[in-house]
Structure 1
Amino acid sequence: MALSTLRRWARGLKQQALVVYFAARDPRTPWPVRLLALTVAAYALSPIDLIPDFIPVLGLLDDLVLVPLGVWLVLRWMPLDVARDARERAQVAAERPVSRGTAAVVVLVWLLAAALVTAWAWRAWNA
């Protein structure tokens, strides 16, 4: 598979993750689908993976299987009018420029959360 094809596929998956995100925020989405959509969107759009990408095979498996499967389930279970509106909002959002400052804030929040969990675990282990 060519690199340009992979980039196109990844861009399409990001677009679908945005659709899932906007559908999760729509009050017309049933709560079980909303919960799944929030989980999928948070995982897909987060800069930190459950399984780091540097781990051979498994690191990419979550991106290649879990995220598309979650997106597919959410899109399959959500009402059609919600899906249509979410696609329109995702299209508009995808055309906006990327904010590196916001990305830095997200990474800092994740690092702070990891540090707090590590400190808590350290104290609990040594108590």
Structure 2
Amino acid sequence: MFAGVLMLVNGVLGVFEGIAGIAKDDVYERIGDYVYKFNLSTWGWIHLVLGLVIAVTGWGILKGAGWAKATGVALAALGIVAQFLWLPYTPVWAVISIAIGVFVIWALCTDTAGRTGGV
């Protein structure tokens, strides 16, 4: 349940982050030379789509869908990479989002409810 709630919240916040990047390019700080520099609208679309998929997976985890656990680990890892690449634009929020992703992976990988003897 912990991982599902965190994924749902992180996904919704990712959607908001994406909308802010798409709607108004001056919301985020302009940076100089950066290896992974995209147009802010492109980053906005990346965060919007990734946020939607993460939120849907979080909902699947809360509903107990069989596909959601492995997908959640993969998407949390992808979200961590995306936030690491996004780090120069919003450093504080990116670090918080990376920490949420780590907690999601930890919670999904240590879940004992599906194992024999789990409660």
**Which of the pair is proportionally richer in helix?**
1
Q: Which has the larger radius of gyration?
A: 1
TM-score (norm 1): 0.41
TM-score (norm 2): 0.43
